[in-house]
């Protein structure tokens, strides 16, 4: 892992790698965006579990998941399930894990943008100086 991290740091001096990092961050396909999405999934999972706990007295009752009672299948009353309307999930917590805002992505990628502008200005200056020294005749 240390070697991979060192290779990534050294690669950051290449304009191509900086551009790739910048574009993946702005499009939301980089590691930080993926971690943001995973954190939202964890938060939503805990919200759903807490919601179900509140509806079932801490998972003590199966009434939220099925309209039958505890011993209905043992008594042979499972045919009632076909006549009972399906469960209404309108009040279930919604997942709101959209991508991070563009402004936040810009703030996070500001060092990449600055370095890309700097390296372009440096290469332009060096090439301009090289052409000034070149004699056309």
Q: Kindly report, residue by residue over 32-84, the tens digit of the pLDDT.
A: 888 889 999 999 999 988 888 887 777 776 666 666 655 555 555 555 444 44
Q: Classify residue 110 by its DSSP letter.
A: H
CA distance 136 to 4: 47
| Residue from 105, 98, 107 nearest 37 by CA | 98
How many Cβ atoms from other residues are within 10 Å of residue 55's Cβ? 14
Segment among 82-86, 97-101, 109-113, 116-120 with least mean pLDDT: 82-86
CA distance 68 to 62: 8
CA distance 102 to 81: 48
Reported confidence tier of residue 1, pLDDT bands at 50, 70, 90: confident
Total residues belonging to the chain: 137
CA distance 50 to 58: 9
- In the three-class reduction of DSSP (H, G, I as helix; E, B as strand; rest coil), residue 82 is classed as helix
CA distance 72 to 65: 14
Domain ranges of the chain: 1-28+101-137, 31-99
Q: What is the pLDDT of residue 42?
A: 94
CA distance 38 to 15: 30
């Amino acid at each position: 892992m240390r070697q991979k991290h060192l290779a990534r740091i050294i690669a950051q001096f290449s304009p191509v790698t900086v551009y790739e990092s910048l574009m993946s961050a702005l499009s939301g396909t980089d590691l930080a965006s993926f971690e943001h999405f995973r954190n939202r999934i964890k938060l939503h999972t805990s919200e759903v579990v807490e919601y179900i706990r509140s509806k079932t007295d801490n998972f003590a009752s199966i009434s939220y998941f099925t309209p039958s009672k505890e011993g209905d299948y043992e008594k042979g009353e499972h045919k009632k399930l076909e006549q009972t309307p399906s469960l209404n999930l309108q009040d279930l917590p919604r997942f709101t894990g959209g991508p991070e805002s563009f402004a936040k992505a810009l703030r996070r990628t500001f060092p990449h943008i600055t370095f890309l502008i700097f390296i372009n200005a440096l290469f332009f200056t060096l090439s301009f100086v090289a052409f000034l020294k070149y004699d056309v005749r």
